[in-house]
Amino acid sequence: MNIIDELTWRGAINQMSDEEELRKKVEEKSIGVYCGVDPTGDSLHIGHLIPFMMLKRFQMAGHRAHIIIGGGTGSIGDPSGRNSERVLQTMEQVHHNEEALTSQMKHLFGKDNITIVNNYDWLSKIDLLSFLRDYGKLFSINTMLNKEVVSSRLESGISFTEFTYQILQSIDFHHLLKEKDVELQIGGADQWGNITAGIDMIHKIEGSDTEAFALTIPLMLKADGTKFGKTAGGAVWLDPEKTTPYEFYQFWLNQDDRDVVKYLKYFTFLTKEEIDELAKKVAAEPEKREAQRRLAEEVTAFVHGKDAVIQAEHISKALFSGDVKMLTATEIKQGFKKMPTVEIANESMNIVDWLVSTQIEKSKRQAREDVTNGAIYINGDRIKDLDYIINPAESFEGKFVIARRGKKKYFLAKVK
């Protein structure tokens, strides 16, 4: 299947310049393709992942993938998708973020057919007068004002700094075309104006017959109309310290039946036949959630590795069954990250006193009643003995005690 046909089937194309010529190009030879990200933070989130999944598909189809980590553009701020000016970061913070994002990209893309560059390397060498003479003259203010990324900001206001962003992005495209033979730029739907501005500049400098192409990805919305990638707790990050692999797995596992097939097309490398089969199961047996489970497995393995999938499934099984004894201290740290948590001293204590001191129970009377009735579990074991002694050193490497009241109310006690 032609890569353009595959992306079309996956619903991954919003706009594309010169489709007929690009389609022919990717069939004839390996072409250079690039996608960029600015180091506004020290981790990608899953919203960032969408265009890079498309870049990964080009890489897997034998094309030469290029990633720009925008150390230069990131230092001034992209106006798209915002109603106000970005707060400029220190260059020290920008460089820290560059290193973190580069590490994530290397993990996702491996070593074959991939080049990672930083646009600070060439943008920082352009002096002001050269910028105005060599590039500023090529851009019409009228045209720039009509670009959606700028026009959407005119009412709230936009600085000259962010206004010039599309010129810098155009310079990036031209630089990669000349230095790396990159002919196609991929971006989100909001990047169409910036990418086509680059194509226009390339034609003015190199000639109108120079081949340069644009491809953008649709804005992704959930079936309920809300923006994809956000949860009640905020963004879903690729950094395991920000979003644990277990949380990451659970995010995908909990997707709506109405969205899961779309996400399988976007975020996995399963074949059309495999996804069509899973789509049938969603329609016939939605309660089994096989499509969601496969989605969670595939995306978690891609981002965090297969061992992370095994660990996430292990944590899920333990929490569902209540058999938390099977968990390691590391797994507890992941699975109980958002559970009610208290700190305790590393000392033994009677269960009734312990339940009250941790505020799991409001009174000794209630604690005694719940213990007697079998409603209290410590580290997965039901405790009905009012004389039971809790010793934190005896469980989970002496780091945690897990209490449960009733069927599902878990509490995590962390040893100080």
Q: What is the pLDDT of residue 225?
A: 83
pLDDT band at 82, cuts 50/70/90? low
Domain count for the chain, please give it. Answer: 3
Instruction: Please give the mean pLDDT across all residues of the chain.
Output: 92
Residues 396 and 284 in one domain: no
Tokens of 101: 């994002």
Residue 232: pLDDT over 80: no
Helix (H) or strand (E) holding 313: helix 306-321
Report yes or no: 147 and 200 within 8 Å, Cβ to Cβ: no
- Pairing state of beta strands 64-69 and 32-37? parallel
Give tens-digit pLDDT for 163-211. Answer: 899 999 999 999 999 999 999 999 999 899 999 999 999 999 999 999 9
From 176, 194, 217, the end of a domain falls on 217
263 & 381 share domain: no
* Contact (CB, 8 A) for 247 and 339: no
CATH number of the domain that residue 314 is part of: 1.10.240.10
151 confidence band (pLDDT: 50, 70, 90):
confident
CA pair distance 213, 190, nearest whole angstrom:
16
Whether residue 225 is contained in a domain is answered as: no
Please indicate, yes or no, if residue 326 is contained in any of the structural domains.
Answer: no
Half-sphere exposure at residue 77, Cβ-oriented, CA atoms within 13 angstroms: 18
Per-residue pLDDT, averaged over 218-240, amounts to: 82
169 and 108 housed in the same domain:
yes
Query: What is the bridge-based pairing of β-strands 400-405 and 234-235?
Result: unpaired
Q: Which one of 217, 247, 279 terminates a domain?
A: 217
Instruction: Please tell me the pTM assigned to this model.
Output: 0.87
Please name the helix (run of DSSP H) or strand (run of DSSP E) that holds residue 353, with its range, or none: helix 351-357
Using H for helix, E for strand and C for coil, what is the string for 46-67? HHHHHHHHHHHHHHHCCCEEEE
pLDDT of residue 2: 87
Amino acid at 384: K
CB-CB contact of 79 with 153 (8 Å): yes
Query: Has residue 74 got a pLDDT over 80?
Result: yes
Burial (Cβ within 10 Å: 0-12, 13-18, ≥19) of residue 92: exposed
Asked, for residue 195, whether it belongs to a domain, the answer is yes
Residue 387 above 80 pLDDT? yes
Largest CA distance in the chain: 87
> Taking residues 265-269, what's their average pLDDT?
95
* Residues 53 and 104 both lie in one domain: yes
Does residue 301 lie in a domain region? yes
Pair (118, 258) in one structural domain: no
One domain for residues 314 and 234: yes
Helices and strands (DSSP H and E) totals, the chain: 19, 15
DSSP string, 124-148: TT--HHHIIIIIGGG--HHHHHHSH
Long-range Cβ contacts of 108-113 (<8 Å, 24+ apart): 108/52, 108/56, 108/302, 108/303, 109/55, 109/56, 109/59, 109/65, 109/67, 112/59, 113/30, 113/59, 113/62, 113/63, 113/64, 113/65
What is the pLDDT confidence band of residue 80, given thresholds at 50, 70 and 90?
A: low
Indicate which CATH number applies to the domain containing 184. 3.40.50.620
Task: Print the SS3 string covering 287-309.
Answer: HHCHHHHHHHHHHHHHHHCHHHH
Tell me, yes or no, whether 186 and 37 share the same domain.
yes
349, 256: one domain:
no
Q: Examine residue 290 and state whether it is found in any structural domain, yes or no.
A: yes
Q: Percentage of residues in the chain with pLDDT exceeding 70?
A: 98
Q: Which domain does 102 fall in, by range?
A: 3-217
324-344 pLDDT, tens digit each:
999 999 999 999 988 899 999
pLDDT band at 321 (very low <50, low <70, confident <90, very high): confident
- To the nearest 5 percent, what fractions of the chain are helix, strand and coil? 50, 15, 30
CA 357 – CA 360 distance, rounded (Å): 8
Convert the pLDDT of each residue in 96-131 to its tens digit. Answer: 999 999 999 999 999 888 999 999 999 999 999 999
Q: Which residues of 168-202 are buried (b: 16+ CB within 10 A; e: fewer)?
A: bbbbbbbbbbeeeebbbbbbbbbbbbbbbbbbbbb
Residues in the chain: 416
- Does 34 carry a binding-site annotation? yes
Q: Is the domain of 236 the same as that of 88?
A: no
User: Does 246 appear as a known binding residue?
Assistant: no
> Residues 212, 235: one domain?
no
Q: Which residues contact 272 (CB under 8 A, 6 or more apart)?
A: 1, 9
Determine the 3-state secondary structure of 248 from DSSP: helix
**Is the same domain home to 179 and 121?**
yes
Is 135 annotated as contributing to ligand binding? no
Contact 8, 57 (CB under 8 A): no
Does 369 fall in a domain?
A: yes
pLDDT above 70 (res 233): no
Where residue 395 sits, what CATH number does that domain have? 3.10.290.10
User: Does some domain include residue 335?
Assistant: no
Sign of CA dihedral 11, 16, 19, 22: negative
Task: State the average pLDDT over residues 366-392.
Answer: 95
User: Is residue 336 included in any domain, yes or no?
Assistant: no
Final residue in a domain of this structure, among 217, 243, 274: 217
Residue 55 CA to chain centroid, in angstroms? 15
Q: Which pLDDT score, from 0 to 100, does residue 16 have?
A: 95
165 is in an annotated binding site: yes
pLDDT the model gives residue 81 = 59
Whether residue 24 is found in the same domain as residue 147 = yes
> What would the pLDDT profile of 129-143 be if each residue is shown by its tens digit?
999 999 999 999 988
Q: Given this model, what pLDDT does residue 228 score?
A: 82
